[in-house]
Each structure stands twice: as structure tokens, then as C-alpha cells.
Amino acid sequence: MICPIENEDIEVLLAYCSGTVGDAKAAELKLHVSGCPDCAPFVQLQHAVWNALDVWESNPVSSDFDRRLYARIAEVDREPWYRRAFDFVRPMFQQPALPLAAATVVIMAGFFFDRKQVILPVPSQPAAIRVSVTEAEQVERTLDDIQMLHQFDLDSQEAEKPSKSM
């Protein structure tokens, strides 16, 4: 017989240990295992696991377990979808490294989009003009300032006229 462990066919040894192989196969495996230095310890450990599982007893389930379980399922079903989604995501953010990584990504994205070049096509000119977003914002702010100063100048001139008449 070919050794199941050498043949990487562990399932047949597991089936032998659980007693789910036929009598002929079981006899063949018993003969092999008794003389195989690889299979013998494997089968011995499997029998130890099976014996431990036979002895192990789980804690008894409380009498109202089913009622509480279905009540909890119904409670979750009544929650809005975004609450369930948050409950699904929340454990990820309870890890100490994840909020730091998320903050780093947000900061890096801020730097990336701050330095992004925008190409504005100008219909009257054949070549596109490169203007950075920050330059365009500075020009807009300067124009707003000039307009505000001009308005302030007009307001101050109007304010002087009544004072002269007084």
C-alpha cells in the first residue's frame, strides 16, 4: 500500500480514524499504520482527539436562548441600513493603526489635490494655458480684493459728500 502521508492523502487517514471507511480498507490501513513511522503517530493523535471529543461536554444552553436570539435578530433587522453598515465597519477603526493610516491617506490626498495642475482650454488660442488651482484662487482673491477696495473707495467718497454739506 502507498503511504497516505507520503501520497498527501490525509483524508483517507482521517476517515479511517473516524471509522467511516469500509472493512476491507480499514484492515488494509490498520496493517499499514502498524508498520509506518509517519502514519502511526498521526493516527495515535487522531484517536486522542476523538477520545477527547467523546469526553467533552458543552455548557447547557439556557431555556430562553432561542427567544433571545430571534429577538436580537429582529432588533437588528429594524435598525436602518447605515447603522448596520457602521456596526460592520466600526471594529476596523478600533484597531490603533487604522485611524492613523486613514488620517495619513487624507493628508496625502490633500497634498496631491493641492498640487494638481489643471489645463484650461482657451477657444481663441490654439495652445492650452496651464494654470494651477492655487494660482487661479490667488487671482480670484486678488480681483475680489480690488473690487472690495474700489467699492470702499466709492463708499468713502459718498460719505465725504454729506459731511462737506454739513
Helices (H), 19-132: 23-35, 39-55, 65-78, 81-93, 97-114
The interface region with Zn ion, picked from 34-42, 64-72, 81-89, 141-149 by CB under 5 A, is 34-42
Task: Measure the CA–CA gap between 105 and 77, rounded to whole angstroms.
Answer: 34
Provide the minimum distance between the beta carbon of 83 and Zn ion in the complex, in angstroms, as a whole number: 55
| Cell of residue 26, nine digits | 480499514
Contacts (Cβ under 8 Å, ≥6 apart) of 113: 133
Task: Map the footprint of Zn ion across residues 2-21, applying CB under 5 A.
Answer: 3
Interacting residue with Zn ion among 13, 29, 39, 43 (CB under 5 A):
39
Nearer to Zn ion, 2 or 122 (CB): 2
Interacting residue with Zn ion among 13, 17, 29, 36 (CB under 5 A):
36
The footprint of Zn ion on this chain (CB under 5 A) covers a number of residues equal to: 4
- H/E stretch holding 56: none
Amino acid at 39: C
Q: What is the dihedral of CA 108, 110, 111, 112, to 10 degrees?
A: 80
What's the angle, vertex CA 164, arms to CA 160 and CA 166, rounded to 5?
A: 120
Nearer to Zn ion, 34 or 51 (CB): 34
Nearer to Zn ion, 1 or 98 (CB): 1
Nearer to Zn ion, 1 or 109 (CB): 1
Contact call for residue 38 and Zn ion (CB under 5 A): yes
The interface region with Zn ion, picked from 33-41, 94-102, 104-112, 156-164 by CB under 5 A, is 33-41
What residue ranges bind Zn ion (CB under 5 A)?
3, 36, 38-39
